[in-house]
Amino acid sequence: MTKRNVPLQVKNLCFDARGIRLIKDVSFDLTAGSRLMVLGANGAGKSLLMRLCHGLLVPHSGTVQWGEGQEGKMIQQAMVFQRPVMLRRTALANIAYGLKCKGVARRSRRDIAFDFLSRVGLARLANHPARLLSFGEQQRLALARAWAMEPDVLFMDEPTASLDPSATHAIEEITRLIAEEGTTIMMSTHDLGQAKRLGSDVLFLHRGRVLEQAGVQDFFQQPKNDLAQAFVRGELLWWKKKKDLYPGGGIEQIPSDRI
Amino acid sequence: MAEFWAAFAAAFDLIYGADDNLVGIVLLSLRVSLTAVLIAALIGLPLGALVGFLSFPGKKACVVVLNALMGLAPVVVGLLVYLALSRAGPLGVFGLLFTPMAMIIAQVILITPIIAALTRQVVEDLWGEYREQLTSLQCSTGQVVLTLLWDGRFSLFTAVLAGFGRASAEVGAVMIVGGNIDHVTRVMTTAIALEVSKGDLALALGLGIVLLTLSLGVNAIAYVLGEFARKRMGA
């Protein structure tokens, strides 16, 4: 069901905040129809990288190059955040709002919004104020709103980080449905099991650098990078003494064969 | 002491009997202040929203000035509007001095900064929460402003009520530009000031009671609305 060619090429991306380089020379391709799982510890730069790709942040150097969408149209993107942002309206109106931004005609917004609300199992809460829904329901609603934008690429920033297993399961099922429609997914997660369940590829970040990009099976069976090996084994990377991780002693002195 | 209570009794009589003089003054007050609030809201809400969500050089100074203008002394506003509207002033040709319109202008100047400054705060907080989502949805600037105003509607209504409270209670500005002319520009506050100095405590007290009730009503509405917003909309 792949819709398009390479939707996104990231080259030598760097991003600084308050004089500290947080994203360091990141390059990777996001291939159409893939489900790229961005893995890494806290502070590895996962959220930043997604925001840079989505255009919410401007890189200091490097390029984020979008390919062409269907029939030469611009690539449609949407993003779901770790903490769902709910407008102070009903659940239905939250989706309709997204449709309005997309330029969908007023008369068809309600029906489309209701359709997507039903797809995520929230039809009965259509007229409920969105901010009074449970956290799990809010995240489903956020996903429905993003889905209704019919994106070519959907960014998801740890969408299940504070959800219980049943709510996580619901989000994963919805994500799978969206992916089946041909939408390319780029999602960050801390949950290795989730990455295995959902992902087709893995991008492993550590302290702002991409240490490995591989197919999900290859990554979990035989990661090439030793930090990735430790990560996959479930070891806590921060627990390692710095000199073990970096024989040179400093962040900037990672031997080239490790990168 | 007996005189004191007699004044209260007479005041209630005036209110209960819907005294023509009293009703006329109350209605004029409401007309002036409500018109001023309406105009101030039309200017202050979008202005506050733009300052709240745009980032531009000098924004901090702008916010400080806006906040400072909230405490503008009514007599100073009265004086400036008086100068502008007087025969020799730049707007003298319109002959607006000592008319209800002059009072409306003075009150608009007085409360626009209040509404704008409170709106700025509400919108800025809301924008902090919505920024990434609305950017992600690729909303246009106009759409963003409307969204922030609509989603902050409950807090913003309270801001408008604060403006109305200020407008209906101030005396300095309307006294100077209105002149407290009987049946033309005499509003509740200026009438109270006059009647007290004349020694007619009954009318002054009657108007005072109406003014207090109005303020109580405005605050009650603000409170109920806040509760409604919190419970029903999770705002």
Q: What is the pLDDT of residues B101-152, one digit of tens each?
A: 999 999 999 999 999 999 999 999 999 999 999 999 999 888 999 999 999 9
Determine, yes or no, domain membership for A108. no
- pLDDT averaged over every residue in chain A: 88
Determine, yes or no, domain membership for A104. no
The answer, for A132 touching chain B at a CB cutoff of 8 Å, is yes
User: Which residue on chain A is closest to B138 by alpha carbon?
Assistant: A101
Which residue is it, tokens 């611009």? A74
- State whether B133 and A81 contact (CB < 8 Å): yes
Distance separating alpha carbons of residues A68 and A247, to the nearest angstrom: 43
Residues of chain B with C-beta less than 8 angstroms from the C-beta of A101:
137-139, 143
Determine, yes or no, domain membership for A110. no
- Domains identified in chain B and CATH numbers: 2-233 (1.10.3720.10)
CATH code assigned at A242: 3.40.50.300
Residues of chain A with C-beta less than 8 angstroms from the C-beta of B232:
129, 132
pLDDT band at B52 (very low <50, low <70, confident <90, very high): very high
Distance separating alpha carbons of residues A225 and A212, to the nearest angstrom: 7
Determine, yes or no, domain membership for A101. no
Question: How large is the ipTM?
Answer: 0.84
What radius of gyration, in Å, describes the C-alpha atoms of chain B? 21
Report the gap between the CA of B225 and the closest CA in chain A (Å).
Answer: 15
The number of distinct structural domains making up chain A is: 1
Contacts of B112 (CB under 8 A, 6+ apart): B40, B43, B44, B47, B163
Determine, yes or no, domain membership for A174. yes
Determine, yes or no, domain membership for A236. yes
User: Which residue on chain A is closest to B126 by alpha carbon?
Assistant: A87
The pLDDT value recorded for residue A250 is: 47
Say which of A51, A101, A132 has its CB closest to residue B234.
A132
pLDDT tens digits, A203-214: 999 999 999 999
The pLDDT value recorded for residue A253 is: 47
- State whether A97 and B129 contact (CB < 8 Å): no
Determine, yes or no, domain membership for A28. yes
Domain that holds residue A39: 8-86+133-258
Determine, yes or no, domain membership for A81. yes
- State whether B133 and A88 contact (CB < 8 Å): no
- State whether B233 and A54 contact (CB < 8 Å): no
Q: Stretch A90-108: mean pLDDT, rounded?
A: 94
pLDDT at residue A69 tops 70:
no
pLDDT tens digits, A136-184: 999 999 999 999 999 999 999 999 998 999 999 999 999 999 999 999 9
- pLDDT averaged over every residue in chain B: 92
Q: Which of B103, B22, B119, B30 is nearest to B66 (CA)?
A: B119
Residues of chain A with C-beta less than 8 angstroms from the C-beta of B234:
86, 88, 129-132
The pLDDT value recorded for residue A112 is: 96
A65-73: which pairs have CB atoms within 8 A and are 24 or more residues apart?
A: A65/A8, A65/A9, A65/A10, A65/A11, A66/A7, A66/A8, A67/A4, A67/A5, A67/A6, A67/A7, A67/A8, A67/A9, A68/A4, A68/A5, A69/A3, A69/A4, A69/A7, A69/A152, A70/A3, A70/A4, A70/A152
